Structure formats: structure tokens, C-alpha cells
Amino acid sequence: MSDETATATAITSKTFTDPRDLLVKPVVSEKSYALLDENKYTFVVDPRANKTQIKQAVEAVFQVKVTGVNTINRQGKRKRTRTGFGKRANTKRAIVTLAEGDRIDIFGGPVS
């Protein structure tokens, strides 16, 4: 029973059962690559996720220690189409700071 309790308390969210549901994709841009030197990684996350849930998800998926999470809510751009106007979806980004010595290798960034 203690094993079930440990896994149930690892992610304390009622809306997200799997931590991979929170992390949509990593952000690949010049700015996110520049932040890799500071041990900061950028992800597009679910707009309903809060900082605590993001921290728990990154720690569970990548087995690293997270020291801080900053979030950015980005409004979707208004785009003109042939038939009128449309709007891109709103997105939420999370900049995750890892503990000294921890690394996520999915970006293929500089090896230190």
C-alpha cells in the first residue's frame, strides 16, 4: 500500500493524470538556446497548468531537480485569411531552472 501512496502523491493534480500531459513540447528558438547556458529550459505547457504542477512534471519525466519555474502566457495573434479574420491559439510557456549539475539532453545543447 505504501508504493501506491507514493505514486499517488508524486503528482497531486486532479486534472492531469500523466505528467507528460502537461509538457506539450520544448521551445526551439535562439532565446531558449541562449538560456541553456544558464541551465534554464523552455517548454510549451498546458494553459491550465500551474507552477507547482509544471515543477512536479519536469522532475517526474526527466529525473532532475527543479529550483524554479517562470511562466509566460502568450496571446494568440490575429491573422487575416481569405474569408475574414481568425486567431491563433493562446499558449503558455514555462522557463524551468534546474539545479546545478542537472541536465536535460533532449535539446542537444552545449555539453558542459
- Reading the chain (112 residues) residue by residue, the pLDDT tens digits are 445 444 444 555 667 788 888 999 999 999 999 999 999 999 999 999 999 999 999 999 999 999 999 999 999 999 999 999 999 999 999 999 999 999 988 756 555 5
Bridge partners (DSSP) of residue 44 are 25, 93
Sign of CA dihedral 41, 44, 45, 48: positive
Lay out the sheet containing 66-74: strands in order across.
23-26, 40-45, 91-98, 66-74
Write down the pTM of the prediction.
0.78
- How wide is the angle at C-alpha 23 spanned by C-alphas 51 and 6, nearest 5°? 70
pLDDT of residue 6: 45
